[in-house]
Amino acid sequence: MKESGVFERAFAKVNLALNVGGIRADGYHEVTMILQQVDVWDEIDLYKRPRFEASLECNLPYLVKDERNLAVKAVRLLQKTYGIGGVHVRLFKKIPVAAGMAGGSADAAAVLRGASRLYGLDLPDERLMKLAQQLGSDVPYCVIGGTCLAEGRGEKLTRIDPFPEALCILVKPNFGISTPWSYQQYHVTPDNPPADIDGMIEAMKASDLAKSASMMRNQLEKIAVEHYPVLGRIESTMMDLGALGARMTGSGPTVFGIFDDALKAQKALMTLRRQLGRMEIIMCRIGGKDPYHGGQGDLCEKDGRQGADRDTALPENGSEEDFES
């Protein structure tokens, strides 16, 4: 007999804007960010198991699968708070790991949503977001996804109009940048101005793609580019290839570029692949009036799932076959 379970998609995000503010009493920096979901996602199937179990299998052999994995932490949190039974998580990762794209946070949020459905709790988003705060600053956003202004540590969220629909090329270099290091290194300098958040929100509301893309800023980028000049080279290559804007997301190291023209984007993709051979390079959609926000699937069967499949939901050139390692 086939085992029934619950299917969730865990979407990645990019930071269209990231402004760093003062240090708070809890040691974290105040941040103001515009977060935008992109249509790159991890697939998550959840199955009931005997009480107390919280197990994980994953397509990436190097990823931690024990209690250190955010997906397992999310199960444990629901077990502790609501006394739900055991859960087995099948995780198919497609979001680059340690990339500044909130991959682990997205998985944790998807497990909170899915395990709540699996055990019939059907917790509302507000409740899930409260729980999510215990798992990490980006997790509350990942519960709702879409486009948000994030303040505080990133947990104070306001929905805003989406970035105008465009194509996005993501380049994830083969090194990591530690988030704490990045914030420690940050210091205020006149040549690192903050994003004009209100102006960007206006441009996005007016669906002005060129203006929205040209206003993207990330105040953690300067220090990252100083230490890893390749990041600056990726950005300028993207701009030379016709991007309307290119920035690092989060604390990096992934750089994303925005394209309004499929042909230009395709050529840029090929050129970047030729030049940056061993980096992970993905093309996906970004923004628009939520064409892919419906991340949750209904009850699925073990060997066949409902809802959009990754092969059909990604644009022609956005499937994982495009990954280079």
Where along the sequence are the contacts to ligand ATP (CB under 6 A)? 63-64, 69-71, 97-105, 107, 138, 179, 250
Q: How far is the CB of 75 from ligand ATP (least distance, A)?
A: 12
By C-beta, is 101 or 258 nearer to ligand ATP?
101
Active site residue 13: yes
Are 168 and 179 within 8 A, CB to CB? Answer: no
To ligand ATP, the closest distance from the beta carbon of 59 in angstroms equals 11
Measured from the Cβ of residue 301, the count of other Cβ atoms closer than 10 Å reads 13
**In the complex, residue closest to ligand ATP by CB:** 104
Dihedral, 225, 227, 231, 235 alpha carbons, nearest 10: 20
Q: How far apart are CA 191 and CA 34, in angstroms?
A: 21
CB of 194 to ligand ATP, least distance (A): 20
Residue 221 and residue 311: Cα distance in Å, rounded?
A: 33
The C-alpha atoms of residue 216 and residue 164 are separated, in whole angstroms, by: 13
Q: Which distant-in-sequence residues (6+ apart) come within 8 Å of 33 by Cβ?
A: 15, 17, 18, 19, 149, 150, 151, 154
Q: How far is the CB of 266 from ligand ATP (least distance, A)?
A: 26
> Residue 64 or 299: which CB sits closer to ligand ATP?
64
Active site residue 42: no
Nearer to ligand ATP, 237 or 254 (CB): 254
Q: How far is the CB of 235 from ligand ATP (least distance, A)?
A: 18
Round to whole Å and give the CA distance between 87 and 76: 9
Between 164 and 295, CB nearer to ligand ATP: 295
Closest separation in Å from C-beta 97 to ligand ATP? 4
The residues near 243 (Cβ < 8 Å, ≥ 6 apart) are: 169, 213, 257, 258, 259, 268
Catalytic residue from among 94, 138, 205, 267: 138
Question: Looking at beta carbons only, is 237 or 249 nearer to ligand ATP?
Answer: 249
Q: How far apart are the first and last CA of the chain?
A: 38
> CA neighbours within 13 Å on the CB side: how many for 39?
29
CB of 206 to ligand ATP, least distance (A): 28
Q: Which of 13, 73, 93, 172 is catalytic?
A: 13
Q: Which is nearer to ligand ATP, 105 or 237 (CB)?
A: 105
Distance CA 272, CA 173 (A): 12
Contact 238/268 with Cβ under 8 angstroms? yes
* φ, ψ dihedrals at 319, nearest 5°: -80, 170
Nearer to ligand ATP, 18 or 204 (CB): 18
Angle between helices 125-133 and 70-82 (to 10 degrees): 110
| Burial zone of 242 (CB within 10 Å; 0-12 exposed, 13-18 middle, 19+ buried) | middle
Q: How far apart are CA 106 and CA 112, in angstroms?
A: 10
Q: Report the catalytic residues.
A: 13, 138
